[in-house]
Structure formats: C-alpha cells, structure tokens
Amino acid sequence: MTPEEKPLNFLEQIIKADLEAGKYDKIITRFPPEPNGYLHIGHAKSICLNFGLAETFEGECNLRFDDTNPAKEDDEYIQAIIEDVSWLGFQWAGEVRYASSYFDQLYSWAVHLVEAGKAYVCDLSPDDARRYRGTLTEAGKNSPFRDRSVEENLHLLARMKAGEFDEGSKVLRAKIDMAHGNMNMRDPILYRIRKQHHHQTGNAWCIYPTYDFAHGQEDAIEGITHSICTLEFADHRPLYNWFIENLPVPAKPVQYEFGRLNLNYTVTSKRKLKQLVDENFVDGWDDPRMPTIAGYRRRGYTPASLRKFCDMIGVTKSDGVVDVAMLEHAIRDDLDKNAPRAMCVLKPLKVTLTNYPESKTETLTAPGHPQRDDLPMRELVFAREIFIDAEDFREEANKKYKRLVIGKRVRLRNAYIIEADEAVKDGKGNIIEVRARVIEDTLGKDPEDGVKAKGVIHWVAAQHCVDFEVRLYDRLFNDPAPDAGDKNFLDHINPESLQVLTHCKGEPGLSNVEIGMAFQFEREGYFCRDSRSTELVFNRTIGLRDSWAKIAD
C-alpha cells in the first residue's frame, strides 16, 4: 500500500515531506534493541513501525544491536531477537550491525571531545556524583575534577582504556552545563570502566560507552535519516543533538519520538520479565504466558496477527494503555479465517452406543474449514464406543442446557443424533460411562419421528483417536495494571494462568501435525502444537470468546 492510499500518521507525514523537499534521496531507519532480554510486544510495535516505514517509502531499515553493556547482554538474546524479527516477516538491510563494531570510532570521538575541552575524566564516586547532580528543582554543581587540563584528561582516559583503574573509580563525562534544566545535560557520562568479557569483542575493551553517547553516533555512522524512539527518550533528544553538533560525524540524523505500547493485564519491563524467568514463575522467556514475541509465537500467535494489531493501535505522540482484548481479537480473527478445524475432547467421558454393532465402523467426512474450500476434507471414524466431553453430559438439566441428558437427544457433530439412556457410576458415585442409542437414519438429516436434537456436541471414536496433553493458557496477571504505582506485580499473578490436561483425545490426524501448526478445536478454542515438547502437546492460543468480558464489566 502506498502512502496516498491511507491516512498518514505523523511520522509518515514527516518522512513524506522530507522526501518531497529533497532532503533525502532515500530514508534509512533502524531497529536498535539492547541484547539484554527477549523482545516483548512493545518491541513488536517498534519493529513494525521502523521496518514498515522503510517498506512504505521504499527505503531501508537496519537491525543493530546496541551492545554497550556486557554485564547484562548475552548471545542467546541476540539470536532470539534475530529470530523474532525474521518471524514477523521483516528483512533488514545488509548484515546485522552491532554498536561494538564502532567501538574504535566512538573512542576516537571521545578523545576528540577531550581535546576540544568538552569532556573530562571524573573521580567522583557514584553516590557523590548523584549528590552533585542536583534535582529537578535545584541546579547541580560542578565536579571538583571538571577543570582538569586537556593533557591530564587524555592521559587518564588512555589509562582507563588500558585497564589501570578499578571499576567505578573513574568515568569520562561530557562538559555541558550542571545547571541545565534537563538533567540529561548535566555533564552526562560517556564511558564507564567495565572489566567484563564482551560477547562480540571479547576482552579487547575494559571501558564501554554509555547508550546515550553511542546511540546517536551509531545512527550517524549508518546514515540513519529518521531515528525513531519511544517517548521516554524525548528528554534525551537535546543530548542526542549535542553530540551530533559537537562531533565530526558523517551524517546528521534526527530523532523523533512516538508513544510506546502499554497493554493492560501485562508487564513489559525487561527487569520484571527477567525476574519472572529467574524465579521460575514462568517456564522461560518463551513461556506462552509471557508477553514476549517468542512467548506469543510458542502460544500460537501468528506474525500476521501481531502486525495487524500494531496497525490497529496506530502511531501517536502520546502514551496510553491499550486493551489486551484488541490483541486477542487480532489473533482470534486471523485463526478463525485460517486455522483448520478438528475435534478434541479435553475431559473424556466414554459413551457406548448400545444399538450400534460392535464390529462396525464408518468413515465420515467433515470440512477442513467451513469457509475454506482450499483446505482438504477430514476423515472421521465412527464406532460403537466414543468419547465426549464430561461437561457435555448431565443426568438431569433444565431446558437451557443444550447437551446430552438422560432421555434427551443431541447431535454428534458431523455424525448421528444419539439419545442417552443410562449413566454408569463407580463405587464413589462418579459417572464413568454413558449408555446411549443411535437414532437411525439421522446422518445429515433430522429423525423421522420428528423429535429433534437440542444441541450439537463434539466427539471422537474411542479406538480411533490420539492421546495428547493440552495446556490451557490464560492471562498471566489478573489485575489490569499489575505493576502500577507501588504495586508488587508478583502479587497479581493469575493462579489459573495455566491448567494442564492429560489424556485428552483428538482426531487421529492430529498425531503428526507440524510444530506450531494451529487448529480450531471445535467448541473449545484455538490451539497449536507446542514447539518445545518432545511429546504431543497442544497449547491453547485463545478461546473462541473473551472469557474476561464479564470481569471487565
């Protein structure tokens, strides 16, 4: 779709005007994650925005890892992020890029600032530095090391680089203005001592640039035209511009900010997500309850549904909270149109059809999808013993109950009408079997005696089905704002966010489906085969209807 075919958001308007004015021949955007965790749904919005703008205006988008803090980074996160971006359907320009590839250039620019009298080595302890920084209402005061000579600063910086000082003993700071109204401009740190192994550069460095110092210069090196960040970086823009203006960079990118994605019933802080993983509240970063892209993928969400959701919520200049029901609608709508159908009995109850011959079986057919002629028909085996869901039978029920009841009739989906005669119980009074009869000549038509079935239930043949485990996933938190204010988000974990059902029964064709393949289990919801289980396991992606609607009301 071209920009003229839909209303433009404010970023599209800016880019369109820049191109029409001849400011750029081609736009270049970038997606610059820090590899200190897995990407979450908020990152999905940023991915779709940056890559989407490049696609819309026939430009390019770089994938760059801002790997300036080896203490929190890991190659596992890099590989997971690469997989996430590819899975969403985007291709970056050229090779994957790293901030660490520019460390030599960044250091030379730090030297440039020192030589220009615009940076200095500071010996203040972290606690003293915080005290000297001032507050939002009080100006800071100059470090006692601010007026060191250029020669002394160059000498100390070289010794920092050589590893002669302990961590935390010295930093390199920009010399801007300790009375500036923007706290980010009060002599920000450019380099810290970190004597830690780096996943890309090994032990080549023991000082590392801060994100603020590295980010804009990385953009300049790559010729980024529109550096798009979330709104919390708006206060950092003056510093971004200060570096660009005071360094001999090859290009002058411009930073723009948009409102980040906040979902209710969801936590997206990387620190808190990591805590959920580290303290075993979830089964890893890709647990299907996690709001990570990997978690959504394992749960059965599709790239199309996440991209559609990001398109639905739009791009704004302000932050807001989006109802998670919009995301759930996006996946429900996608799977309703595309997921093949199957029958699965989650809580099996045996039904013996007493008037159906023991040795007889019939092969019945059912559509792969009610609106998709391109999907093949399914073959179902019908026999004397079948399983239905235990919740689909009652000995007695009122007229609102449209399932199987003693003395009443129900239609088996894509098969016959049956009538229940008797419930068989064990010594504790639990129903373990139902005896029923097939109403003859009701395959695809109503009975001749005119007594119609009250409802339709799903089933599988007892000797012609496959056993598997089903995991019923729900929202991880039961509070719309689990980490708002002074709340402890761990206090709001939904105790029913996962239910595991064993010995579920499904159509035989489910035994050899591909990892990640999605189905609508009729009358139950949408499910996909789990990607990490060696056994046959299906994860519930989403129910057929919003089970939280009544709570929300």
pLDDT value for 552: 42
Share of the chain above pLDDT 90, in %: 95
The enclosing domain of 415 has a CATH number of 2.40.240.10
Q: Are residues 430 and 482 in the same domain?
A: no
Average pLDDT over residues 439-454: 90
Which residue, of 258, 291, 316, is where some domain finishes? 258
Sequence-ordered list of residues with C-beta below 8 angstroms from that of 529, at least 6 positions apart, any chain: 513, 514, 515, 516, 517, 536, 537, 538, 539
* % the chain with pLDDT above 70: 98
Is 14 part of any domain?
yes
Tell whether 101 is covered by a domain: yes
What does the angle CA 447 – CA 451 – CA 456 come to, to the nearest 5 degrees? 75
Q: Is pLDDT of 1 > 60?
A: no
What is the mean pLDDT of the segment spanning 293-309? 98
Let me know: does 285 contact 38? Beta carbons within 8 Å: yes
**Amino acid 306: pLDDT:** 98
Q: What is the pLDDT of residues 152-201, one digit of tens each?
A: 999 999 999 999 999 999 999 999 999 999 999 999 999 999 999 999 99
pLDDT band at 3 (very low <50, low <70, confident <90, very high): very low
Q: Are 476 and 497 in contact (CB under 8 A)?
A: yes
Copy the structure tokens of residue 217.
Answer: 């210069």
Considering the domain architecture, whether residues 176 and 28 belong to the same structural domain is answered as: yes
| pLDDT digits 0-9 by tens, 474-499 | 999 999 999 999 999 999 999 999 99
Residue 483 lies in a domain: yes
Q: Which of 34, 83, 385, 433 is catalytic?
A: 34
Same domain, 298 and 318: yes
Helix (H) or strand (E) holding 279: none
Tens digits of residue pLDDT in 147-156: 999 999 999 9
| CATH number (domain holding residue 82) | 3.40.50.620
My answer on whether 78 and 15 are in the same domain is yes
Residue 452 inside a domain? The answer is yes
Q: What is the model's pLDDT at position 5? A: 67
Kind and range of the H or E element at 209? strand 207-209
- Considering the domain architecture, whether residues 239 and 144 belong to the same structural domain is answered as yes
Whether 448 and 494 share a structural domain: no
Catalytic residue among 97, 175, 186, 270: 270
Of 425, 458, 491, the domain-final residue: 458
Domain end call among 430, 458, 486: 458
- Is 270 catalytic? The answer is yes
260 is catalytic: yes
| Cα–Cα distance measured from residue 40 to residue 166, given in angstroms and rounded to the nearest whole number | 35
Residue by residue, DSSP assigns 101-124 as GGHHHHHHHHHHHHHTTSEEEE--
Taking alpha carbons only, the member of 402, 404, 394, 388 closest to residue 346 is: 388
For residue 162, the model assigns a pLDDT of: 98
What was the pLDDT predicted at 551? 47
Q: Which of 72, 260, 435, 454 is catalytic?
A: 260
CA distance 159 to 80: 36
Residue 60's beta-bridge partner residues? 28
C-alpha–C-alpha distance, residues 305 and 449, integer Å: 47
Res. 531: pLDDT tops 70? yes
- Do 478 and 428 have their domain in common? no
In tens, the pLDDT along 10-59 reads 999 999 999 999 999 999 999 999 999 999 999 999 999 999 999 999 99
Degrees to nearest 5, angle at CA 318 with 312 and 322: 40
- List, for residues 455-469, the tens digit of each pLDDT value: 999 999 999 999 999
Cα 60 to the center of its chain, rounded Å:
24
Query: Is 360 within a domain?
Result: yes
Residue 512: which residues within 8 A CB-CB, separation 6 or more? none
**213 and 335 both lie in a single domain:** no
Q: Let me know: does 61 contact 322? Beta carbons within 8 Å.
A: no
Total count of domains within the chain? 3
**297 among known catalytic residues:** no
Average pLDDT over residues 409-437: 96
Q: Does 128 share its domain with 215?
A: yes
**Same-domain status, 268 and 252:** no
SS (H, E, C) 358-408: CCCEEEEEECCCCCCCCCCCEEEEEECEEEEEHHHEECCCCCCCCCEEECC
pLDDT band at 550 (very low <50, low <70, confident <90, very high): low
Strands 537-542 and 378-383: unpaired
| 463 assigned to some structural domain | no
What is the rounded average pLDDT of the residues 77-93? 98
* 217 and 334 co-located in one domain: no
Q: What is the pLDDT, as a whole number, of residue 4?
A: 52
pLDDT, tens digit, 9 for 90 and up, residues 208-262:
999 999 999 999 999 999 999 999 999 999 999 999 999 999 999 999 999 999 9
Give the CATH number for residue 514. 1.10.1160.10
Domain holding 133, by residue range, is 3-258
What is the pLDDT at residue 466? 97
Domain-located, residue 137: yes
Question: Is the domain of 10 the same as that of 108?
Answer: yes
> Alpha-carbon torsion 74, 80, 83, 85, what sign?
negative
Please report which confidence band the pLDDT of residue 369 belongs to, taking 50, 70 and 90 as the band edges: very high
- What is the average pLDDT score of the chain? 96
Q: Which residue has tokens 């790293």?
A: 98
